Structure 1
Amino acid sequence: MSTLEVRDLTRTFGDLRAVDGVSFAARGGMLTGFVGSNGAGKTSTMRMMMGVLASTSGDVLFDGAPVTRADRRTFGYMPEERGLYPKQPALDQLVYLARLRGIPAATARAEALEHLDRLGLADRAKDHVEKLSLGNQQRVQITAALMGRPRALILDEPFSGLDPTAVDDMVDLLRGHTARGVPVLFSSHQLDLVERLCERLVILRGGRVVADGTPAELQETGTVRHRLVLGGDAGWVRGVPGVHAVDVDGATALLELADEEAARRLLAAAVERGTVRELSPVRPSLAQIYREVTS
């Protein structure tokens, strides 16, 4: 299992510190989600990891050693700006890009056709890129990053523009790489997708890491809420000291409780008023955690 790591990575543009001492590790065999708002520093960090952008300070390590140009030639990289030639056939471009990475032409062609087939594009392999939909162009760009059994994958918004079927196909391909012990780091604004796919999450705000861990670890740090379900209307909970009603819908309320005493007061009042069908903790979603750490 390989590990791709950054330590105290920093990048300044004049007076702007776009990336400010970022440290995290993308470990082999798992999908690591890299999330944050626009301008948080995700793309700059990925560019520095690939050597496309020079770092102001800090280190990029692969298996504990400083990453080299030779290492980076074995990484699969999907940049934010797509780099396809619109007037060339998709298959020809994939073979060309693979040959730049030292892959023999015959091997590149066979591998490109296999990937395109798995992504539902085998019958469009000879089409010029400009004739493909944006979603299909995205499939071709992803294929370019996956060529040659990469030792690590760094993907900037790989799921953007893909329909649900294409997303599932793409995930299957990525899982095939993680099964080989490859670290996969990808950025995305689709939090529901990140929550479903990732074994580890790194959240940036203002160029700094504000959360890093498995989904379960991050959920432990989020605000615990409780669901209360009554036999009648739950609107009265708004008046209970130490209880913050996040949402009330008929007999159901989503609540934040200040402490155990507030919970006891709430339950006693509910029992006094009638039937209590449920009072249970609600694990915070990734979207809730994201809002808490980035607000």
Structure 2
Amino acid sequence: MAHSNDLTLPPLALLPAVLAAARSGSFSAAATEMNVTHSVISRHVSQVEQWLGYDLFERYGRGVRPTPDGQRFLRDTQCAIDLLSQGAQPWRQRRGPDVIKVSLLPSYARIWLLALVPEIERDLDVRLELEISERLADFTDGQTDLAIRCGKGQWQGTRSTVLFSDQLIPLIAPSMLDGRDPSGLDAAQIATMPLLHDSDATGWRHWLDAHGVKFRQKPSDRRFEDYSVVLSAAEAGLGVALTRLPFARATIAKHDLVALPFAPVQSPLATHLVQPSYEQRPAVRDVADWLVKAASACK
């Protein structure tokens, strides 16, 4: 088979520095990420720019941003690296358990997944590497295999499977009841109490609307990014929280909280297992199937 000698490749060993600079927005941050000096990053970027014949970055202050030409080169380079990585995975010889990277919110780790990790690793001969993060998972750089998120399941470039269709029940600390019978509270009375939110007011807005009460934000309401902090705040008597089935039993067992006697209200949001749109290696698919079955058993 004849091969063309006209094919020239960019200096591949220098590309990680270029991509790190683009991700971080500065040579200093890229140097810290790669555990090298600022001058190494600067030199590698300059050599790639010399090979290309144009600037990849605009320098401003202590930061950098890609030029229009740089944006196109960086996008195509990242796509090429992703394709190489995905294509090479099936041919790599395994050394020990396959590492599966799962991104999830702190609350999902505490309430559900952490207790399952030993069983998953034993059953599937894998090792789960958990990324506890509030931000949306980015599958483009190969740093995440699976993600567990709450939402409507419409994340661009991904496919998602519903793990739990969240149903909402209000929880309150006994100290906030002041000796009152919880069955005597109606939705209008609850709306006047301090309400606790995670991320936004979607849950309470929907729950009150289902009971014919208009949601109105109050100065006494509080918002926390992490759901487990919401539950701790409710236990401290800072307000009324919404629990999500099927986590209600575990939530009440771990916190000194009382479930108010209302029928569960279906949330417009759900807990999803999120995967990239491209085909994944068998071990990742096995973990995904395991999680879907485990979630189904909780319902």
More strand by share: 1
Higher-Rg member (1/2): 2
TM-score, with structure 1 as normaliser = 0.27
**Structure showing the higher helix proportion among its residues:** 2
